[in-house]
Structure 1
Amino acid sequence: MFRTITIVILALFVVVPLYIMITTSVKPLGDVQGAFSWLPTHFTLQPFIDIWRTVPLGSYFINSIIVSLSASVLSVVVAIFASYAVSRWRFRGRTVFTTTVLSTQMFPGVLFLLPLYLIFININQTFGVQLVGTRPGLIITYLTFTLPFSIWMLSGYFDNIPRELDEAAKVDGASALVTLFRVVLPVARPGVIAVLVYSFMTAWGEVLFASVLTTETSRTLAVGLGEYSTEVNVYWNQIMAASLVVSVPIVVGFLLLQRNFVAGLTAGAVK
Structure 2
Amino acid sequence: MSSTSVTRRRSPNADPRSLVWTRRVVLTLLALFALVPVYVMITSSLKPLRYVSGKFHWIPSGLTIRPYIDIWTTVPLAKYFVNSLIVAGTATVCSVVIAILSAYAVSRYDFRGKRVFTVTVLSTQMFPGILFLLPLFLIFVNIGESTGIALFGSRGGLILTYLTFSLPFSIWMLIGYLESIPKELDEAALVDGCGPLGALFRIVVPAAVPGIVAVAVYAFMTAWGEVLFASIMTNDTTRTLAVGLQAYASENNVYWNQVMAASLVVSVPVVAGFLLLQRYLVAGLTAGAVK
TMscore range, shorter length: over 0.9
Give the share of equivalent positions with the same residue, in percent: 66
**Aligned with residue 145 of structure 2, among 125, 147, 163:** 125
Aligned residue for 1:90?
Answer: 110
CA contact (8 A) 1:22 1:241 kept: yes
Q: Could you tell me how far 1:139 is from its partner in structure 2?
A: 0.5
Structural mapping, 1:1-271, within 5 Å: 1=20, 2-271=22-291
TM-score by length of 1: 0.97
Note the aligned Cα RMSD (angstroms). 1.1
**Quick check: 7-16 or 111-120, which moved more?**
7-16
Q: Structure 1 residues 13, 270: closer, same or farther in 2, change over 3 A?
A: farther
| Aligned counterparts of 1:63 and 1:206: Cα–Cα separation in 2 | 13
Question: Residue type of the partner of 1:252?
Answer: A
- Cα distance in 2 between the residues matched to 1:130 and 1:58: 24
Structure 1 residue runs without a partner (length 5+): none
Gaps of 5+ in 2: 1-19
TM-score, normalised to structure 2's length? 0.91
Residue type at the aligned position of 2:267? S
Larger Rg: 2
1:62 and 1:174 mapped to 2: Cα distance?
A: 40
CA drift at 1:43: 0.6
1:15 maps to a residue whose letter is L
Q: Deviation above 3 Å: which 4+ runs of structure 1?
A: none
Evaluate the alpha carbon distance shift between residue 206 and residue 268 of structure 1 in structure 2; reply closer, same or farther with a 3 A threshold: farther
| Distance 1:57-1:39 versus aligned 2 partners, 3 A rule | same
Q: How far off is 1:262 after superposition?
A: 1.3
CA contact (8 A) 1:191 1:268 kept: no
Q: C-alpha deviations, 1:162-218, integer Å up to 9, x for none?
A: 111112222223211111011111100111111111111110000010000000100
SS at match of 1:41: coil
Residues paired across the two proteins, number: 271
Displacement of 1:268 in angstroms is: 4.5
Q: CA deviation at 1:87?
A: 0.6
What is the aligned partner in structure 1 of residue 12 from structure 2? Answer: none
Using a 3 Å threshold, how does the CA distance of structure 1 residues 242 and 268 change in structure 2: closer, same or farther?
farther
1:252 and 1:90 map into 2 onto residues whose CA distance is: 40
Q: Determine the C-alpha separation between the residues in 2 that align with 1:140 and 1:153.
A: 20
1:34 deviates by: 1.3
